[in-house]
Amino acid sequence: MSINYQLSRFYRAYAKADQIAPSTLPEVVFAGRSNVGKSTLLNALLGNKNLAKTSSKPGKTATINFFEVPGCYYVDLPGYGYAQVSKSERENWAKLINGYFEQDRRLALVVSLVDIRHPANKLDVQMERFLMDHGFPFAVVLTKADKIGKQVRQRQVGVLREGLGLPETTPMLITSATDKTGIREVRSMIEKAVREA
């Protein structure tokens, strides 16, 4: 049976990790550097441009935002690695993100977003390592594919798999929220992970 994404809605925003309600449903988490396109991808997957707030300026999502989706929650995390904020703000975000992952939650899948245009960044390498070390189920979603040609995309898949230190078994999907490349594939990957969670 197909999921009626139209029923999705904003659930809650948490400014502190210890305020997050215990998990009831499986959770699909969107993680990645600030401005990589987490909130935009979430909106594309749910078919509603206005659900999660997006911005061309990094640092838009500053709380952990839960969205109710039939059968699961989507969790939009604040982005890491945005240099232009104060040290205390950065520390607060790190605390939020770590605080979330330290909890005993029903993680169906961590969707780890990486900009397809650039070589592997140190912070992205750290994130993938963190996910692997903790044994979290995760997949890498490459964003903003509309900004480069088809051949470069394929090349970047290899470059980033190597650069991020990912084994062949880690799923890596090419997406664009702008032209909807790969959105169907990400949806079905998430649905499968939720069914199996």
Ligand X SMILES: Nc1nc2c(ncn2[C@@H]2O[C@H](COP(=O)(O)OP(=O)(O)OP(=O)(O)O)[C@@H](O)[C@H]2O)c(=O)[nH]1
Give the residues lining the site for ligand X (CB under 6 A): 32, 34-40, 54-56, 58-61, 78-79, 143-144, 146-147, 176-178
Residue 39 interacts with Mg ion (CB under 5 A): yes or no: yes
The DSSP letter of residue 73 is: E
Q: Which stretch binds Mg ion (CB under 5 A): 3-11, 30-38, 62-70, 114-122?
A: 30-38
Can you tell me which of 35, 61, 112, 176 binds Mg ion, judged by CB under 5 A? 61
Q: Which stretch binds Mg ion (CB under 5 A): 58-66, 116-124, 170-178, 189-197?
A: 58-66
Encoded tokens for 126 = 């750290």
Q: Which stretch binds Mg ion (CB under 5 A): 5-13, 31-39, 157-165, 170-178?
A: 31-39
Contact 58, 84 (CB under 8 A): yes
Among ligand X, Mg ion, none, partner that 153 touches (CB below 5 to 8 angstroms by kind): none
Determine the 3-state secondary structure of 68 from DSSP.
strand
* Distance of closest approach, residue 105 Cβ to Mg ion, in angstroms: 20
Among ligand X, Mg ion, none, partner that 176 touches (CB below 5 to 8 angstroms by kind): ligand X
**Quick one: 66 or 153, whose CB is closer to Mg ion?**
66
**Three-state secondary structure of 108-174:** EEEEEEEECCCCCCHHHHHHHHHHHHCCCCEEEEEECHHHCCHHHHHHHHHHHHHHHCCCCCCCEEE
**Quick one: 118 or 197, whose CB is closer to ligand X?**
118
Contact 117, 156 (CB under 8 A): yes
* Distance of closest approach, residue 82 Cβ to ligand X, in angstroms: 7
* Distance of closest approach, residue 195 Cβ to ligand X, in angstroms: 26
Sheet holding 9-14, edge to edge: 9-14, 64-69, 72-76, 27-32, 107-115, 138-143, 172-174
